[in-house]
């Protein structure tokens, strides 16, 4: 099986999976794929540490798998660390399938172990057949362009050196080298979707097109090249429309793009927005302001010419702070007194202030007398007149003296508390 080893070495070099003499955490289930992976990586000279997960889902079989993994690693003089998981409890707590819970537990622990051991990579045993199954599974579920590219050889610290070899090649290699392994009986049951693809769909496709495996692999290779172009232009488009500092997506710029939906999806998926929600966001581009869209941790608001992206954690917290009299400086009004025109600096007649001053968020019904005016105005009307967005309203800080609003901080002071010819002492407050 020199040809298989050549393929693996070539894949490692081509995709820059591992450096020479790299320290590698190798996921070892005890099955054929992971046994071959550990054996081959050791033969190629890598410093390996085996890691076995016992999810306690298959009774005695799980105990058998653990023993096999530990014994096999020992036979190679490779350390093996094992971890037990209460997978069913986690699946219930997170509201996910048992398969998803097991996957999350596995990769979370692998990453923790990588950091503890100061390892360079985490190697898992996905092979070519797994990638083909993933392609078909994604097609059945409905997928974007990346879902047609199959399993990737590298994802962060996760590497997959066996992706260019088939299951048959792995089994032949194991037989030639007389390596012991166990078989997960659930893989032989026509129970889960992926197993149905493996046991029923693929054999049917092979009866129609005997070279279906090669055709699908070739398709995934072509898609992978197309994805590189797609990602390059998507990132350029995101830079054009998205101001990360302000959290704003400029709608007029979005409209100039060939596919606003694709750009929004790639931009917003990392903030927890799904494809269905993104489709509704696209429809809202031409709607009135105020439309809101939610993900678990973020809020997107349609505001005139922008979509505004906010953290829900910051928008839900009320604000209430106090400024004590001892914390401010009183300045006499004399010939040296000057006022600077700066909206982040406010000047007040000290004798009119009632301490402690309070800083809070605004509420419906709030009103004040804007500087230069002799009548009250509702804050809601002031915000509308000055075109405050909804996030700007929610972030607005209001400074109060007693029951009076004396400053929309960073915007406008109250006329009743202004410095006049009769003022003897002033208080100057600066917004940082």
User: Residue 23 domain-assigned?
Assistant: yes
Q: Are residues 337 and 306 in the same domain?
A: no
Where among 315, 343, 369 does a domain terminate?
Answer: 315
CA torsion sign for 265, 268, 273, 277 is negative
Question: Is the pTM value of this prediction over 0.85?
Answer: no
Where among 187, 220, 253 does a domain terminate?
Answer: 220
User: Residue 367 domain-assigned?
Assistant: yes
For range 49-73, the mean pLDDT: 93
Q: At 319, is the pLDDT very low, low, confident or very high (cuts 50, 70, 90)?
A: low
pLDDT tens for 355-371 read 999 999 888 889 999 99
Q: Are residues 303 and 208 in the same domain?
A: no
User: Residue 232 domain-assigned?
Assistant: no
Contact call for residues 26 and 43 (beta carbons, < 8 A): no
Q: Are residues 86 and 152 in the same domain?
A: yes
CATH number, domain at 332?
Answer: 3.50.40.10
- For residue 311, count other CB atoms closer than 10 A to its CB: 12
Q: Are residues 49 and 154 in the same domain?
A: yes
Contact call for residues 265 and 295 (beta carbons, < 8 A): no
pLDDT tens for 165-188 read 999 999 999 999 999 999 876 665
Phi first, then psi: what are they for 122, rounded to 5°?
A: -120, 115
- Structural domain harbouring 412: 320-430
Q: Are residues 279 and 329 in the same domain?
A: no
Q: Are residues 208 and 303 in the same domain?
A: no
Q: Are residues 356 and 299 in the same domain?
A: no
Q: Are residues 371 and 301 in the same domain?
A: no
CATH number, domain at 310?
Answer: 3.30.465
CATH number, domain at 188?
Answer: 3.40.50.620
- Say if residue 339's pLDDT is above 90: no
pLDDT tens for 266-282 read 999 989 998 889 999 99
Q: Are residues 325 and 297 in the same domain?
A: no
Structure tokens at 186: 């659930």
Q: Are residues 306 and 327 in the same domain?
A: no
Contact call for residues 224 and 149 (beta carbons, < 8 A): yes
**Is the bond leading into 356 cis (omega within 30 degrees of zero)?**
yes
β-strand partners of 119:
none
Half-sphere exposure of 102 (CA within 13 A, CB side): 12
The total domain count for the chain is: 3
What's the farthest any 2 CA atoms get from each other in the chain? 101
Q: What are the CA-CA distances from residue 395 to residues 310, 311, 391 (Å)?
A: 11, 12, 6
């Amino acid at each position: 099986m020199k040809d298989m080893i050549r393929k693996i070495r070539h894949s490692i070099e081509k995709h820059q999976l591992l450096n020479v003499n790299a320290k590698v955490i190798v996921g070892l289930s005890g099955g054929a794929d992971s046994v071959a992976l550990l054996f081959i990586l050791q033969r190629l000279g890598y410093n390996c540490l085996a890691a076995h997960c016992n999810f306690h889902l298959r009774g005695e079989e799980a105990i058998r798998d653990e023993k096999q993994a530990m014994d096999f690693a020992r036979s190679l003089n490779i350390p093996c660390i094992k971890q037990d998981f209460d997978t069913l409890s986690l699946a219930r707590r997170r509201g996910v399938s048992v398969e998803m819970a097991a996957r999350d537990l596995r990769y979370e622990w692998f990453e923790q172990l990588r950091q503890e051991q100061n390892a360079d990579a985490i190697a898992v045993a996905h092979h070519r057949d797994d990638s083909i199954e993933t392609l078909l599974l994604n097609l059945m579920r409905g997928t974007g362009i990346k879902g047609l590219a199959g399993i990737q050889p590298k994802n962060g610290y996760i590497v997959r050196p066996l992706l260019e070899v088939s299951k048959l090649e792995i089994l032949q290699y194991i037989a030639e080298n007389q390596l012991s392994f166990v078989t997960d009986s659930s893989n032989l049951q026509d129970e889960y979707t992926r197993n149905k693809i493996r046991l029923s769909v693929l054999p049917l496709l092979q009866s129609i097109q005997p070279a279906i495996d090669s055709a699908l692999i070739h398709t995934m290779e072509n898609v992978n090249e197309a994805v590189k172009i797609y990602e390059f232009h998507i990132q350029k488009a995101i830079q054009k429309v998205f101001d990360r500092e302000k959290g704003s997506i400029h709608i007029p710029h979005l409209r100039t793009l060939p596919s606003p939906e694709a750009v929004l999806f790639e931009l917003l998926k990392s903030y927890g927005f799904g494809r269905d929600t993104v489709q509704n966001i696209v429809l809202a581009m031409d709607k009135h302001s105020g439309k809101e869209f939610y993900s678990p941790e973020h809020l997107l608001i349609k505001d005139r010419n922008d979509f505004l992206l906010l953290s829900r954690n910051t928008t839900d917290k009320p604000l209430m702070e106090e400024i004590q009299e001892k914390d401010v400086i009183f300045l006499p009004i004399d010939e040296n007194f000057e006022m600077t025109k700066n909206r982040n600096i406010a000047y007040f007649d000290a004798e009119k202030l009632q301490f402690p001053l309070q800083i809070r968020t605004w509420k419906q019904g709030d009103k004040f007398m804007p500087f230069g005016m002799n009548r009250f105005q509702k804050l809601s009307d002031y915000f509308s007149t000055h075109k405050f967005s909804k996030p700007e309203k929610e972030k607005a800080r209001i400074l109060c003296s007693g029951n009076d609003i004396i400053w929309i901080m960073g915007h406008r002071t109250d006329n009743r508390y202004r410095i006049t010819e009769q003022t003897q002492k002033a208080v100057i407050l600066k917004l940082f």
